[in-house]
Chain A
Amino acid sequence: MSTKIFRSSLRLTTLAFAGGLLAAGTAAADSVIRWMHVEQVPSTIGVWSQIAKDFEAKHPGVKVELQFLENQAFKAKLPTLLQSEDAPSMFYTWGGGVLEAQSVTGALRPLDEALDANGGEWRNVTNASAIEGLTFDGKVWAAPSKSGLISFYYNKDLFQKAGVDASKIEKWDDLLAAVKTLKDAGITPIAGGGRDKWPLHFYWSYLAMREAGQEGFAKAKAGDDDGFAGEPFVKAGQHLAELGKLEPFQNGYLGATWNDALAAFGDGRAAMILSFENTPATQATNSTDRKGLPDDKIGRFPFPVVDGAPGVATDSFGGLNGWAVTKNAPPETEEFLRYMGSLEVQKLLAKETQIMPIAKGASEAVSRPLLKEVADALAKETWHQNFLDQDLGPNVGAIVNDISVEIVSGSMDPADAAQQIEDAFSLERK
């Protein structure tokens, strides 16, 4: 262990040293916005660099520097980094409990003032639900950057072969019936990534949203009606167990990563996947032949509703990302973020980097039909719930991921699972 500590401190020192060098190299600029991200797609970084250059051209004396950290390393380093002199000016956030934890340490700068400046110029162009999702304790702690939606994607050919009509899958029982039909036709119904756990937390989360509804969910967070141990959450687990009993996933799904699951779907080895809005692209890159399914062979339908439960099909579950600004960041950081969130830039990002934009009206720039469908669904959403492994904080989130796998693989009782979440979350309520 000591070598680990030694290595990480060595890395930090190197980082600090490199940071110092960078700062020295750019001393000519009046202020430097250090932009820390986890993006790995080269074309996206290319677009970002261009946006940064455009901004620099319009604001002489300001320099924008992109700094990359790998996802896991980023998460592990951030706590230390935020408390050091080398904190970035702005960094990527998934919102939720982690952002909230960061906000209470005083390491971040709230953005309300900037949002409301010039008669609320910035706030008015941004989707209200996106801002709301990054608000804690009445203050906005990050500038929204993109939104997302989890829905079912299906292989049109395999559905046709089994005789399943995707447009008829509206209720949970319809989905179970479709799974049975597909299995009878000798087709693996769903691709699942049980090793990464979070891909299966989509199921429990969506079922919990459908069973509890927005109001019930808020109540559970507040600890009313037995909190997360309440009836809707037990029922959500029971539905998930029903699905698990049908053995809907590919063989060995408990050892499969998310990329394996995408490959199974992209290769046509499984008929469905409950996945992100960027699935048309990621199933292709992860498939064995790197081509995957063409867009016209993929269909999409929202997560089904549960009969008699308050949740509706337009209640959506998906990511909400943003850029958090640190306390000592140069004042131009907010200006830069306002620029990033403007209609013009959001349209560019939607078109070039295929994100779901957060500026009002920017979704018209989304042209790929499967993405357009998601953009339209997001525009009509009645409730946007962020991923539970972010929203409930890293600890409770990890428990949600764990129990989702345990329930679906039949090794945990849904009521025990709900109680476990409640036990952990009860420690986080104030």
Chain B
Amino acid sequence: MSDSLMPANARPSTGVVTAPRRGRRSLAHSKWPVLILFLPPALLVFTVLVILPMGEAAWYSFFNWNGYGSPTQWIGLRNYQLIFRNSAFTQALINNGLIVLVSVCVQIPLALWLATMISSRIKGALLFRLIFFLPYVLADVAAGMIWRFVYDGDFGLVGGIAHFLGAEAPFWLADRDVAMYAILGVVVWKYFGFHMMLFIAGLQAIDKSVLEAADIDGATGFQKFRLVTLPLLGSTVRLSVFFGVVGSLQLFDMIMPLTGGGPSNSTQTMVTFLYNFGVTRMQIGFGSAVGVVLFVICVTLAFSYKRVFMRND
């Protein structure tokens, strides 16, 4: 990020623009008092609430510690060894990968498709926008609880449909092989509206004259989409994928009411794993180590994604 900002700042001083130099220098000078005045509070808050806890977590991850007293039993990298040997963690990694995959390959195309349909001023577009965006407004926990009820085989919608058809009601959330797919369904339902809104905003920013020009050139609808809309929407798509990936890695609130990570850890994500195996078991050292691993994965992914795909955005 800093790299992409640097040239932008540096450009004026090396540029050919012939604006008065003195003015700019005095501007640079006048920045210092502002910096000195305004940076420390933000820096302090950032240090106390972000840097310090992160450092603490990293420190605790080298101890076998239950959270009581102060950590004394140094065990080196053993927590990390235990994490990577834990089959539930492997499952969590796979699930996180699956969520990323689904949000990139299913959710975003779906959102894009819907966005192109309702971004134009057709009748009822606004209403549909509202309806599609509604799930995103719901709190994750509420969404999880609603869908837990929907999927319920005794009293839920799925159970009701099955009973109506005279079939035996399925219990998807109780089935190791199916539960994760049931959750993926909820994830797509919950977040596609958000991506759709991003795309609508992006679509509305596209200059109409470009599309008109394409029309005049005799482009078909699909050609217009592929050769004009999509390239011009590039930065929005990249941003959307970025949000999708980062959001997928942090998925927690919705899974807890749905399955709590079960049955048999089949729907564990990295964060539910951290909670179930670190916090509730009072294995604060172990949990911290999971936090560190999660942090490293998130940071690596976020930065490399920004580096590779969002360099010019």
Interface residues of A (CB under 8 A from B): 1-2, 5-6, 9, 75-76, 79-80, 82-83, 98, 101-102, 104-107, 194-195, 197, 251-256, 269, 288, 393-395, 398, 405-406, 409, 411, 427
Contacts and interface: CB of A to CB of B under 8 A. Distances in A.
Interchain residue pairs A-B with the least CB separation, the first 4: A252-B171, A255-B174, A79-B67, A105-B69
Interface residues of B, number: 39
Chain A interface main SS type: helix
A101 B282 contact: yes
B116 interface: no
12 contacts: A1-B250, A1-B291, A194-B263, A195-B260, A251-B168, A252-B174, A254-B174, A254-B262, A254-B263, A394-B66, A395-B66, A405-B263
B114 interface: no
Contact of B49 (A5, A106, A256, A395): A5
B173 A255 contact: yes
B9 interface: no
Interface string B251-287: 0000000011011100000010000110111111000
A23 to B, nearest CB: 24
Contacts of B250: 1
B71 to A, nearest CB: 12
Contact of A1 (B64, B171, B264, B295): B295
A35 to B, nearest CB: 21
B112 interface: no
A395 B280 CA distance: 8
Contacts of A107: 68-69
Contacts of A254: 171, 174-176, 262-264
A80 B264 CA distance: 31
B68 A253 contact: no
Contacts, number: 99
Contact of A195 (B168, B175, B262): B262
B53 interface: yes
Contact of B279 (A76, A102, A406): A76
B256 to A, nearest CB: 10
A99 B255 CA distance: 30
B135 interface: no
B50 A2 contact: yes
B282 A411 contact: no
Contacts of B64: 427
Contacts of B277: 398
Nearest to A10: B49
A252 B168 CA distance: 11
A5 B179 CA distance: 30
User: Residue among B66, B179, B260, B291 with the most chain A CB within 10 A?
Assistant: B66
A406 B169 CA distance: 23
A255 B171 contact: yes
Contact of B171 (A251, A406, A411): A251
Given A395-B283, A398-B280, 14 more contacts: A1-B271, A2-B49, A76-B279, A106-B69, A195-B263, A251-B153, A252-B153, A252-B171, A253-B174, A254-B175, A288-B155, A395-B66, A395-B282, A409-B264
A398 B261 CA distance: 14
Contact of B259 (A80, A102, A195): A195
B98 interface: no
Interface string B55-68: 00000000010111
B294 interface: yes
User: Residue among B68, B168, B277 with the most chain A CB within 10 A?
Assistant: B68
Contacts of B68: 79, 82-83, 101-102, 104-105, 107
A101 B282 CA distance: 10
Nearest to A1: B291
Contacts of A251: 153-154, 168-169, 171
A255 B50 contact: no
Contacts of B264: 254, 405-406, 409, 411
Nearest to B66: A101
Nearest to A98: B282
Contacts of A288: 155
Contacts of A256: 174
A269 B154 CA distance: 10
